[in-house]
Amino acid sequence: MANLKEMSPFEAVTYYFDQACDRLVIREEVRDLICTSDREMRVEVPVRMDNGDLEVFIGYRVQHNNCRGPYKGGVRYHPEADEEEVRALASLMTWKTALVGIPFGGAKGGVQCDPQGMSPRELQTLTRRFTRSISQIIGVNDDIPAPDVGTNSQTMAWMMSAYAEEHGYSPGVVTGKPLELGGSVGREQATGRGVSLIINEAAKDLGIPMENSKCAIQGFGNVGSWTAWYLSEIGSTVIAVSDVNGGVYNVQGLDLDQLKTHVENTGSVLGFNDAEAITNDELLEMECDFLVPAALGGAINSGNASKIRARMVVEGANNPVTPGGEMILNDQGVTCLPDLLVNAGGVTVSYFEWVQNIQRFPWNLDRVNNALEEIMIRAYREVQTMTVRDNITYRDAAFSIAVGRVAQALELQGLP
Ligand code: GLU
C-alpha cells in the first residue's frame, strides 16, 4: 500500500485516480494520457505597486483535460498557489465536471500573491496583466476561468474586460461574473447551496433528522457562509464557524443574520456576541453531526483526524482531508463526503451561466435552482448506489464514476 502519510495535493489526487483505474481496469496508455496535464502555462505578472515598487508575481494556468468539453476551473489568488497545487486542483476539476455530467473538462489557475494585503488598484492591475498573459489559451469554447479562493465576481469582471480588449465582447469567457455583466442569478450562492443539498440527502441515508442536527463549519468565505445559511434554513443548528483568525461557538446555535452583520462591520467572525471564542483546531474537534471544512486544503490530516467527533465530514473546500486523514476517519466510522461531489454546485451553475451567455438568454432563479438540485441529487445518488453496491468509500465511488466517463470519452474519440 502507498504511504498515505501526507502526500502532496497532486500525489493525493493521482492516488485516488490510480485506485479508480485499477478498479475499472483502464488500459495503461489511456491511464497515462489522462493522468497528467494537457498544458501548463507559467507566466510572470509584473505589477507597479502603490508604493512605487515593481513586484513580479508568478501565475499559472493548468489545463488538465478537455475530452468532455472546454477546460473549466477557477483562478486562485493565494501565497501557496504554486504549480503543484494548481496542477492538483486542475485534475480535480476534470473529475468534478465528469461526475456531475456537465460538458466541460478540467483546468485551474493561480497567482502566488496575498490579495488581503493588496489595494483594489493593485489587484485590478494584476488581474488584467495575468489575463493578457493567458489570453491566447483561454476562450469561450477553449477554457473558461471562474472565481476560487481569493478571487470573486469583481476579479471576473476585470478578466472579462481585459480579454475583451483583445478579443471583443465575450461574456462566456469567464463565469462567476457580476449580474450586471452577464453573471447568473444563483451563482454566488451555488456552492453552498449544493453542499447543503448533498448533506440533506446523505442525512436521510444515515438516518440523521435535519431538525435535531448540529453542524460546524470551518471557513466563512463564499462557500462556508452560504453553506451555514442553507443548512440552518433546512433545520440544522449551526453551532460553530471560523475564519483565518479563529472561530466562534454557541451550542444553542449562532444567529446567522447578526453574524453576517458582524462580519460585514469587522471583517471577521471573531468578537461576535453571544458566542465563545474557539480556535480553528477546536472547531474541527467539535462534537456535531456535520463538519464542513470549507477553507483550505489539508485541514484534516493524519495528525488530527483521530480527534474528529463529527458523524460526517463534508468537503466544502477542495482537498481539505488528506488521504492519510481519510483513512483514520474511515477506521473511526466517520463518513467522508468528497469535494468533487460536495462542492460541484459552483461549477454546475457556472455551466448554466455559460449556457445563458452563449444563448444570450438569461434564466430566472427558479430555473437555476431546480436544475442545480436535479444535477446534485442525481450525482449523489449515483455515488451512493456504487458506494453501497461495491462496499467502497464515497470518494472511491465518485472517482470511479468520473474517471470511467473521461476514459470512455477519450476511447470514443480514438487514440492516435
Ligand atoms: N472554483 C470552483 C471550484 O473549485 C468553481 C469553478 C468554476 O465555476 O469553474 O469548483
Q: How many residues does the chain have?
A: 416
Residue 176 Cα: closest atom of ligand 1: 8
Q: Residue 297 in contact with residue 318, Cβ under 8 Å?
A: yes
Average pLDDT of the residues in 201-216: 97
* Cα 396 to Cα 338: distance, rounded to the nearest angstrom: 9
DSSP 114: -
Say whether domain 190-342 belongs to CATH 3.40.50.10440.
no
Residues 16-53 have pLDDT tens digits of 999 999 999 999 999 999 999 999 999 999 999 999 99
Q: For the chain, report the end-to-end CA distance as a whole number of angstroms.
A: 34
What residues are paired with 224 via a beta bridge?
none
Average pLDDT of the residues in 377-395: 98
Residue 50 CB burial class (10 angstroms; 0-12, 13-18, ≥19): exposed
Q: Considering only CA atoms, which residue is closest to atom 7 of ligand 1?
A: 347
Q: Do 190-342 and 37-169 have the same topology in CATH? A: yes
* Structure-block grid coordinates of residue 122: 493593485
Confidence of residue 4 (pLDDT cuts 50, 70, 90): low
* Cα 260 to Cα 276: distance, rounded to the nearest angstrom: 17
The answer to whether 72 is a known catalytic residue is no
Instruction: Quote the CATH superfamily of domain 37-169.
Output: Leucine Dehydrogenase, chain A, domain 1 (3.40.50.10860)
Query: From residue 93, how far is each of 36, 68, 182 by CA, in Å?
Result: 13, 12, 23
What pLDDT is attached to residue 5? 64
Residues 274-313 have pLDDT tens digits of 899 999 999 999 999 999 999 999 999 999 999 999 999 9
Residue whose CB lies within 8 A of the most ligand 1 atoms, among 78, 347, 352, 357, for a mutation test: 347
The contacts of residue 347 (CB under 8 Å, 6+ apart) are 72, 73, 93, 96, 97, 100, 102, 104, 146
What pLDDT is attached to residue 415? 85
Q: Considering only CA atoms, which residue is closest to atom 10 of ligand 1?
A: 347
Element (H, E) at 204: helix 187-206
The contacts of residue 363 (CB under 8 Å, 6+ apart) are 184, 185, 352, 356
Residues 152-174 have pLDDT tens digits of 999 999 999 999 999 999 999 99
What residues are paired with 63 via a beta bridge?
39, 107
Q: Considering only CA atoms, which residue is closest to atom 8 of ligand 1?
A: 347
Average pLDDT of the residues in 62-68: 98
What pLDDT is attached to residue 274? 87
Confidence of residue 6 (pLDDT cuts 50, 70, 90): confident
Query: Which residue is catalytic, options 96, 108, 177, 214?
Result: 108
Per-residue pLDDT at 2 exceeds 50: no
Residue whose CB lies within 8 A of the most ligand 1 atoms, among 153, 191, 348, for a mutation test: 191
Domain ranges of the chain: 37-169, 190-342
Q: Residue 7 in contact with residue 323, Cβ under 8 Å?
A: yes
Residue 351 Cα: closest atom of ligand 1: 8
What distance in angstroms lies between residue 190's CA and the mean position of ligand 1's atoms? 10
The contacts of residue 80 (CB under 8 Å, 6+ apart) are 112
Q: Kindly write down the DSSP assignment for every residue of 339-376, as one continuous string.
A: HHHHTTHHHHHHHHHHHHHHHT-PPPHHHHHHHHHHHH
The SS3 assignment for 68 reads coil
Q: Considering only CA atoms, which residue is closest to atom 9 of ligand 1?
A: 73
Amino acid at 178: P
Query: From residue 134, how far is each of 62, 113, 137, 277, 398 by CA, in Å?
Result: 10, 17, 6, 43, 31
Mean pLDDT taken over the chain: 97
Q: Which residues line ligand 1 (CB under 6 A)?
A: 72-74, 146, 148, 175-176, 318, 343, 346-347, 350
Instruction: For 149-287, list the strands marked E by DSSP.
Output: 214-218, 237-243, 246-249, 276-278
* Cα 178 to Cα 281: distance, rounded to the nearest angstrom: 35
Residue 148 Cα: closest atom of ligand 1: 1
- Computed from CA positions of residues 146, 150, 152, 157, in that sequence, does the dihedral angle turn out positive or negative? negative
Tell me the whole-structure pTM to 2 decimals: 0.97
What pLDDT is attached to residue 416? 80
* Cα 295 to Cα 276: distance, rounded to the nearest angstrom: 21
Residue 391 CB burial class (10 angstroms; 0-12, 13-18, ≥19): exposed
What distance in angstroms lies between residue 19's CA and the mean position of ligand 1's atoms? 24
Residues 102-148 have pLDDT tens digits of 999 999 999 999 999 999 999 999 999 999 999 999 999 999 999 99
